[in-house]
Structure 1
Amino acid sequence: MKNVEDVYRLTPAQRELLVPPSPAPEAPIEHLVAAVRGVLDEAALEEALRELVRRHTALRTAFFLQGMPEPMQVVREKLAPSLERAEAPQGLESWLEADRKRGMGLTAAPLVRLSLVRTSAESSFLVFAWHAAALDAGAARLCLDELLRLYQATREKTDAALEKARPFREYLAWMEAQGLEDAERHLREALKDPRPTLLPTRSEPHAAPGVTGLQQLLLPATESGNVQAFLRKHKLGLGTLLQAAWALMLRHHTGHTEVVFGAQVPGRTAALVQGRPLAGRFAHLLPRRFAIPAQGTPLRWLRALQAELSEAQRHEHVSQSQVRQWLKLPEDTSLFQSAVLAWEPPDEDTLKPLARAQGLGAFRHVAAPPPCPLTVEAVAGERLALRLHHDVNGFAPLDVIRLVGQLAALLDVLVTQPDRELSSLSEVLDANGGTARSPATASTSVGPEELRALLAWHPEVRAVDVRVEGSQLVAHVVPSRRRARKLDFGLFFFADEDAGTTDKYRLLLEAAKFGDAHGFSSVSTPERHFHEHGGIYPNPSLLAAGIATMTKHISLRAGSVVLPLQSPFRVAEEWSIVDNLSGGRAGISIASGWVPNDFALYPEHFARKRDVMWENLEKVERLWRGESVSARDGAGKEVELKIFPRPLQPRLPTWVTCATDPALFERTGAGGYNVLTSLLGQPLEEALEKLGLYHAAADKAGHARDARTATLMMHTFVGQDVDDVLDTVRAPLTAYLRAHVALMQTMVKSLDLQVDINEPKWADYLAAYAFERYYRSGALIGTVTSCLPMVDKLLDGDVDEVACLIDFGVGTDAVLQSLTHLAELKRLVQDESLRMERVLTEYLAERLPGARPNVTVKLSDNLSAEHPGPVL
């Protein structure tokens, strides 16, 4: 044969995939997909692809199943694959489905392809596709990682410095060296009774054979973080947790204390993974038996399971066919009805930063259709994805909705209550759907009943009814609560001085104009002196006067005026000018200051700066009202002075900047002032507690609730994609947090760490940790809808306005682009109907990926009056 480098037989896993008793109608094609964020060098990409194929024998392999004594795989010596280019105006998901159906000819290597798919003039994607017989998902990620390194080296004309790859034949040699006797003995003992654990299924088919449905649930970021933290703390794998949860689900629904289902196994030991790179097909499914203890805690059982699964890895290179032979079962016997797959990136995941560096978004894995009637899949990420792929002839949609909801609830309890008794976990499942059966629907499309059940699961929905009205589905929703107050959004600035930038105020001026045009409540600039951090803002009144001439509606504030550094006469005069220029839009927040260098302006005030702040505020207020204030003139005489020009507002709107001192919050409330606070130096929960003290003091003093404003400053960046947002803000926000020593000290204290934060290695580590903690729990960073839970916390905490700090180091163009998404967030927060429609539409898209049901959401107060009859 020409162009042949090597020939060898199939592995058991490959044979099972390619030569089953009833060959699958579609080729098992999988994809890794990323959005293109920049401009790709297509010639360099094609050259990198060819070098990648040259490196790995698995990528140059063809499969010959007929015309030989037994199926064989043939490694081609030379191949020159090309980068494919495609147009997909119908959308990426439709293109991926068509590409999967196109398949790959087994005898025509390579069984991988790289495509640049353009879905519109502004949107394109890079798609790496492979045949499941050639690679598994882990090997595909390895190949993609190498592809990007080769692409970068080609563009930069450097050496990619990749280790020489091992041929796939080495894996065959390793398998032969393992022998089968030990594996057969282990699996015979583990699967003495090989019957799969069966869930209740439909009695009659409702669709053509092979039709698969999909239910997906994305856990909230907080719950996803809880799962990640639990796994890290106890050194457990996501697969172990998911398999344990599914075993508990099966016990609950079937009553069996021992259950059997399929589990994805790596197919090679950890020792084989080490060393030079090796690509090929290793991972596959094997049956697993789980004996669930009658007593004990989830944590103890999970640790035991982890040990058992680690021990079982020695036998995972065998196939299901071999297991059937050992158990003397017919070849077409199903060893399991359900299977569990877990996808999590390696500890040192270099693919994501590599992709970002080459102008690509994060790669997502689009797997092949599941191999059994019910497949449970978990995909690690910023939001953990739970997916249930199901045969629509076997499982009714409403039953699957209940199953995925129960699974999510069970995972949450396992990681947050690991010392709970195992025997009590059925209560969790009963509380989230029980075992009630639902009426089967005769259609595989998404209908009113399925949508009603899905929407009823959403925490913001108290009651829902879905009906066909004309040609569309309409969901009449009663929200779980309606808010009497709205949250205002302001813009806040505190940027570093950048000596290399000539246009230092472009972001401030452009953002102020944007905020004015889009209904933002305020724009605030600080007073900073003699330091590059915030150093472009030494005089907030001067900047506010400039903004006043180019805006019409937005309030112009100081955040803050450091009163002990100022003459109260100058403060009143300057802000009166701002008030007149703006037509009555001036406002200030006052602070006592804390940096000794700043008091070079008034050194005598440093020792009693807090007292001076209140004294000067009293004078500013009197001057603003038109009263005279006594002073000593140049001749040493006592004089009574008034300020000019006269301000337009009868009272200067005044905030008091409160950091962490509870007494200052209470005095501010008692005095009837507004309050400005932040999360630098205190977690959100503490800040909200102190705002509670502020409101209580104001109420006690008789100040009306609608006459005061509680403002919370938060770092803010809102975009379209969570991964892109985090890529954009990670470095600048980490550097910003590192510069705040007070924040670092607070975090070290809260974690009870005995470290010196001034030591560089600890400072870097803590800053990175602070970023992860801060953006999740102390910032408005994410997408429009991912930020909504944080907004709800602010409203629950009696916050009236969020001051969005937008200039913490992200590039000006990126920040200005993000303001469009921030304005959309503001619009949703201030319009309940719009919010509910957006939230529920995205929720349905998450739960039913690919289905895209066309549903109109309408808010209602009382469904029983509008739609008599039972309502979910």
Structure 2
Amino acid sequence: MKNVEDVYKLSPLQRELLARPSSSPEPRVEHLQWSFRGELDEAALEGALKELVRRHTALRTALFTQGLPEPMQVVRAQVDPTVERHDLTGLPEAEQTARIEQHLATQRERGLNLIAAPLAGLTLFRTSQAMGTCVFGYSPLVLDRASARICVKELFQLYKATREKSEAGLEPGQPFRKYVAWLEQQDSREAEVRFREALHGLPPSMLSERAGTQELPGASDWLTQQLVLSTSESETVQTFLRKNKVGLGTLVQAAWAVLLRLQTGHADTRFGVYSPGRPAGTPWSEVMVGGLANTLPRRISVPSEGNLLRWLRGLHADLSAWQSADGVSSAQVRQWLGVPEGAPLFQSVVSTEELAEDDVLVPLARGLGFQPPAVPLSAPAHPLTVGVVSAARVSLRLTYDTRRFESLAIIHLTGQLHGLLVGMTTQPEQDLSALLQSTEEPPRVTASSSRELGPRELQALLARHPAVRQVTVTQGPQGLVSHVVPAPRPGAGKKLDFSLFFFADDGGGSERYRLYLEAGKFADQNGFSAVWSPERHFHEHGGLYPNPAVLNAALATVTKNVGLRAGSVVLPLQSPFRVAEEWSIVDNLSKGRAGISIASGWVPNDFAFAPENYANKREVMFRNLDLVQRLWRGESIPAKDGVGNDITLRVFPRPVQEELPIWVTCAGGLDLFEKTGRDGYHMLTSLLGQSLEDALQKTGVYQTHLRNAGHDPSKRVATLMMHTFLGKDTQEVLHKVREPLTSYLASHVHLMQTMAKSLNLQVDINEPKWVRYVASFAFERYYRTGALIGTPTSCLPMVDRIIEGGVNEVACFIDFGVETDDVLESLVHLAELKRLVDDEALRTRHVLNEYLDERLPGARPAVTFNVVEALPAVA
């Protein structure tokens, strides 16, 4: 036979998939897609595809059925795949999207020619010269979802190696025949006994369906509802799993079983479980590419009482034992249980996936200019699929046939499942009886008769959002209209200013101050309160900023509105005369926009300017501050001239402002916060060497001393400096900031000491080998608990927290090592966050629109939101 490397039988799962009728809801082709931005080497991409196909027998496999006693799979010795290209440049964006979606829908419907390998391919849609979308399409007969993800990861690695003319360093591919041979060696009698004992006589757990489902005309119509757990909820779930060595699959199956018991009234539940199908104890299966995954029925009994955690651990052990039976097909199970063809083995299916923290796919993709492929929504193959994915956050996805399930019912199921997952992981020692009693009962609401998401469904969905107190959704002449009364929120209505803060490394290059100047102009045009520049000497960290007055003078000539501040002037190093003169110049150039924060300094090298002041630097700081303020007001100050004569001096030019706005840079103990409050100055602090909780507590101390000394806190500014970088996508943001922020953290010993303590890491931070180790851990904690890093929406809870803590200005530290162009682009998203904080109605509309996008991916209807104080009266 020509061009044949191997011929062997199909696996039981392949035979079952091949035998399913054309009317079956399973797609004939599934897809993983990603976008790219920047230069794409098409020749290198096609070369990577050819090498990928050469590596894996599953990608060179064709399936033959005609004229054979039984179907066989034939592995071709050579296959020469090419990238299918579509040029969509010049078309409107909406039409580009429509054409891509239509192409994928057609491919899903038609499928692939099973006798023509490869049964997978790569399609490139160019939407502009430097942007586009790539789609990896594959037949479920030769690849499962995990295998497709392996293929895409290797494709990226091969593409990178081809471009760099290096070796990809991949392990040899494993032939799919090895898995089929392993299956043939298994004794199916043990699996048969297990399935018979567990499931015989137990009907599938059936949730209520629409009346007259069987008589509804037309094909199935699928929708997906998604709920993404908050960052704190996700951390709770993931910490519980790690601490108790319980798998995500165990937790979700247990929660679904509890929910089914509540819905059906039966303690014994039966539903389908999607299994990766990779045999335990076989290292080759972890890297194998093929169709290994399977969906089989499981039985879980939910006791009426008993310790929840103990039950979960026992369930985890029991479910692990079932892995030995994952290789059988549902047709075999149907035969063992005596379930006739056409009768359901299960109504609902649970599918879980944990993306490892060390998964190289995401950073690899971003390093190549690709948007990492998302975990695809569950392919519609069953009436209801419950998918849970654990990545940076945990997401729930319920995909359902709208012919059989009312969308309103799925909304309530999603909310109940969310509550169960959070409740079970928050209180794992509770008794099952308490869990069963505490779970929310769905309200009885009449759903829309249409299969579409109507006003009642959307109203129920919106009512679940914590930002909503009351809501209505009605059908208006121009579409759906929602009136929303926002829920009370601590801090709502309080003002928070945003400013930009610089403290950078000297990255070199010919445009060292481009970021400073361009960001300053952006701040000026977008309503930011100020730009801060520090005073640093004799070190590359902050070495761009030896004189903040000079830099602010430059910025004064290209701005009109934004405040120009020093953060900070190290007063023990400076002559009060020079400080008053220089900042008077800035005040004149800016027409009254100058301001300074003062600091006592902490780096001994800096005191080469005034070594005599180091020992008493704080005392000197306040003494010099008094002189600066007097000079600013126009007073004459005693001094000595060059020959020792006593003289009095005033400074020129005269400033525009009668008083120079003064901040005191506070860190460390409470005494400086207390004194700053007593003396009535503004306060500037940061999270270098203190946690956010400590900083907010000290802010409260500062404001208490302001009030006690008779100063009005509403006329004083409490400024908190925070690392800041925002974008459209959280994962893309993390990719851009991870390395520079980790390096920044590693370079600041005080911050490392604080982080090591908060993480309970017993290490000596003075040893270089531990610095990077702690910095990597610190990054994960810091970006969540001490920075504005993410999207405008994801940063809102942090903003609320600092407002509640008494902060009324956040100084956004933006130049900690991220590429200049990326930082400038991120300012657009920071300005969006500022607008959301300034405008409560805009915030509510924005949050609810994103909520619907998230909850109803690809299927949300357009809704016009009106934010009101009270719902309109019903006519």
| Shift in Å, 1:479 | 1.0
- Equivalent pairs, count: 863
Provide the rounded CA distance (Å) in 1 between the counterparts of 2:488 and 2:128.
40
The DSSP-based 3-state class of the residue aligned with 2:319 is: helix
- 1:490 aligns with one of 479, 488, 499: 499
669-678 vs 745-754, greater mean Cα deviation: 745-754
Provide the rounded CA distance (Å) in 2 between the counterparts of 1:268 and 1:90.
36
- The question of whether the paired residues in 2 share the 8 Å contact of 1:30 and 1:368 is answered with no
1:476 matched to which residue of 2? Answer: 483
- 1:292 aligns with one of 302, 310, 320: 302
CA separation of 1:688 and 1:329: change in aligned 2, threshold 3 A: same
The DSSP-based 3-state class of the residue aligned with 1:341 is: strand
| Shift in Å, 1:25 | 5.3
163-172 vs 359-368, greater mean Cα deviation: 359-368
| Shift in Å, 1:736 | 0.4
1:313 matched to which residue of 2? Answer: 323
- The question of whether the paired residues in 1 share the 8 Å contact of 2:570 and 2:598 is answered with yes
Provide the rounded CA distance (Å) in 1 between the counterparts of 2:598 and 2:655.
18
1:708 matched to which residue of 2? Answer: 716
- 1:154 aligns with one of 139, 151, 162: 162
2:236 matched to which residue of 1? Answer: 226
Q: Is 1:447 aligned to 2:454, yes or no?
A: yes
Provide the rounded CA distance (Å) in 2 between the counterparts of 1:428 and 1:644.
73
Alignment of structure 1 residues 472-621 onto 2, 5 Å: 472-481=479-488, 483-498=492-507, 500-621=508-629
The DSSP-based 3-state class of the residue aligned with 2:446 is: coil
- The question of whether the paired residues in 2 share the 8 Å contact of 1:207 and 1:443 is answered with no
- The question of whether the paired residues in 2 share the 8 Å contact of 1:207 and 1:444 is answered with no
Provide the rounded CA distance (Å) in 2 between the counterparts of 1:436 and 1:67.
58
Alignment of structure 1 residues 344-355 onto 2, 5 Å: 344-346=354-356, 348-355=358-365
- 1:811 aligns with one of 811, 819, 826: 819
CA separation of 1:856 and 1:275: change in aligned 2, threshold 3 A: closer
| Shift in Å, 1:435 | 3.3
The DSSP-based 3-state class of the residue aligned with 1:589 is: strand
2:272 matched to which residue of 1? Answer: 262
Q: Deviations over 1:736-782 (max 9, x none)?
A: 01111101111222233221123333211111111111111111111
2:260 matched to which residue of 1? Answer: 250
Query: Which residue identity lines up with residue 6 of structure 2 in the other structure?
Result: D
Provide the rounded CA distance (Å) in 1 between the counterparts of 2:355 and 2:613.
56
| Shift in Å, 1:492 | 0.4
622-631 vs 164-173, greater mean Cα deviation: 622-631
Query: Which residue identity lines up with residue 19 of structure 1 in the other structure?
Result: A
| Shift in Å, 1:22 | 7.3
CA separation of 1:645 and 1:320: change in aligned 2, threshold 3 A: same
| Shift in Å, 1:275 | 7.4
The DSSP-based 3-state class of the residue aligned with 2:151 is: helix
The DSSP-based 3-state class of the residue aligned with 1:364 is: coil
- The question of whether the paired residues in 2 share the 8 Å contact of 1:217 and 1:404 is answered with yes
CA separation of 1:93 and 1:777: change in aligned 2, threshold 3 A: farther
Query: Which residue identity lines up with residue 449 of structure 2 in the other structure?
Result: A
2:46 matched to which residue of 1? Answer: 46
Regions of 4+ moved over 4 Å:
91-95, 119-122
Alignment of structure 1 residues 361-760 onto 2, 5 Å: 361-367=371-377, 369-430=379-440, 434-481=441-488, 483-498=492-507, 500-760=508-768
Provide the rounded CA distance (Å) in 2 between the counterparts of 1:846 and 1:234.
30
Provide the rounded CA distance (Å) in 2 between the counterparts of 1:791 and 1:488.
11
| Shift in Å, 1:585 | 0.2
Query: Which residue identity lines up with residue 798 of structure 2 in the other structure?
Result: M
Q: Is 1:124 aligned to 2:132, yes or no?
A: yes
1:69 matched to which residue of 2? Answer: 69
CA separation of 1:367 and 1:213: change in aligned 2, threshold 3 A: closer
626-635 vs 410-419, greater mean Cα deviation: 626-635
- The question of whether the paired residues in 1 share the 8 Å contact of 2:11 and 2:180 is answered with yes
Segments of 5+ residues of structure 2 without an aligned counterpart are 89-94
| Shift in Å, 1:610 | 1.7
Query: Which residue identity lines up with residue 733 of structure 1 in the other structure?
Result: L
CA separation of 1:21 and 1:33: change in aligned 2, threshold 3 A: closer
1:867 matched to which residue of 2? Answer: 873
Provide the rounded CA distance (Å) in 2 between the counterparts of 1:727 and 1:770.
16
Provide the rounded CA distance (Å) in 1 between the counterparts of 2:452 and 2:128.
28
| Shift in Å, 1:559 | 0.4
Query: Which residue identity lines up with residue 484 of structure 2 in the other structure?
Result: V
- The question of whether the paired residues in 2 share the 8 Å contact of 1:409 and 1:428 is answered with no
Provide the rounded CA distance (Å) in 1 between the counterparts of 2:267 and 2:378.
32
The DSSP-based 3-state class of the residue aligned with 1:342 is: strand
Alignment of structure 1 residues 39-118 onto 2, 5 Å: 39-86=39-86, 87=88, 89-91=96-98, 92-93=100-101, 95-118=103-126
30-39 vs 724-733, greater mean Cα deviation: 30-39
129-138 vs 404-413, greater mean Cα deviation: 404-413
Query: Which residue identity lines up with residue 456 of structure 1 in the other structure?
Result: A
1:8 matched to which residue of 2? Answer: 8
- The question of whether the paired residues in 1 share the 8 Å contact of 2:246 and 2:313 is answered with yes
| Shift in Å, 1:281 | 0.5
852-861 vs 186-195, greater mean Cα deviation: 186-195
| Shift in Å, 1:515 | 1.0
CA separation of 1:397 and 1:277: change in aligned 2, threshold 3 A: closer
CA separation of 1:795 and 1:121: change in aligned 2, threshold 3 A: farther
- The question of whether the paired residues in 2 share the 8 Å contact of 1:216 and 1:848 is answered with yes
Query: Which residue identity lines up with residue 64 of structure 2 in the other structure?
Result: F
Q: Is 1:761 aligned to 2:769, yes or no?
A: yes
| Shift in Å, 1:533 | 1.0
- 2:345 aligns with one of 330, 335, 345: 335
- The question of whether the paired residues in 1 share the 8 Å contact of 2:530 and 2:562 is answered with yes
- The question of whether the paired residues in 1 share the 8 Å contact of 2:37 and 2:130 is answered with no
- The question of whether the paired residues in 2 share the 8 Å contact of 1:338 and 1:376 is answered with yes
Give TM-score, length-normalised by structure 1: 0.95
Provide the rounded CA distance (Å) in 1 between the counterparts of 2:106 and 2:698.
57
15-24 vs 409-418, greater mean Cα deviation: 15-24
Query: Which residue identity lines up with residue 459 of structure 1 in the other structure?
Result: P
Query: Which residue identity lines up with residue 45 of structure 2 in the other structure?
Result: L
CA separation of 1:715 and 1:383: change in aligned 2, threshold 3 A: same
Query: Which residue identity lines up with residue 474 of structure 1 in the other structure?
Result: V
Query: Which residue identity lines up with residue 75 of structure 1 in the other structure?
Result: V
Provide the rounded CA distance (Å) in 2 between the counterparts of 1:802 and 1:177.
65
The DSSP-based 3-state class of the residue aligned with 1:491 is: strand
578-587 vs 209-218, greater mean Cα deviation: 209-218
The DSSP-based 3-state class of the residue aligned with 2:282 is: helix
